[in-house]
Amino acid sequence: MMIIKITPKTLAEVQASQIDTITKSCASAIVGGFSSSALGTAHTYPSQPNDQSNLIGCVASGLANVGFWCADSAGVWAIRSHTAAQIKKVLADGGKIRMGCSTKLDTKVKDINAATTVSAVKLIVW
């Protein structure tokens, strides 16, 4: 019988792995959609990269009314008309989500880098 000795990972290796894991979680949160009440009630908006580009394009177009894909509280997805002010609010609400995720990631990366034990690093999750 051959015995395989498993070498424990170093603190630096665990830190790098945990940073990779939370960075992926952050990216998933950013593209996981968001809620905005720009239409008067909460609607869910998609936030994949092409959705974010389309939203920026809608705001930049300066049109008085634009149609944008979103889901109502019943989960029904449709292109719904938004005024220029409403679509700007949607963009701002999505931006708040993205910036919140980025700030959370920054804090967690700093916490991971400051951790002095493997067990402490493993406790820092998204």
Task: In whole angstroms, give the CA distance from residue 26 to residue 23.
Answer: 5
Q: Which residue, 76, 78, 99, 85, is CA-closest to 37?
A: 85
pLDDT tens, 66-103? Answer: 999 999 999 999 999 999 999 999 999 999 999 999 99
Is the pLDDT at 61 greater than 80? The verdict is: yes
What is the pLDDT confidence band of residue 54, given thresholds at 50, 70 and 90? very high
Segments making up each domain of the chain, as ranges: 11-122
The 10s digit of each residue's pLDDT in 5-49 is 666 689 999 999 999 999 999 999 999 999 999 999 999 999 999
Contact 56, 101 (CB under 8 A): no
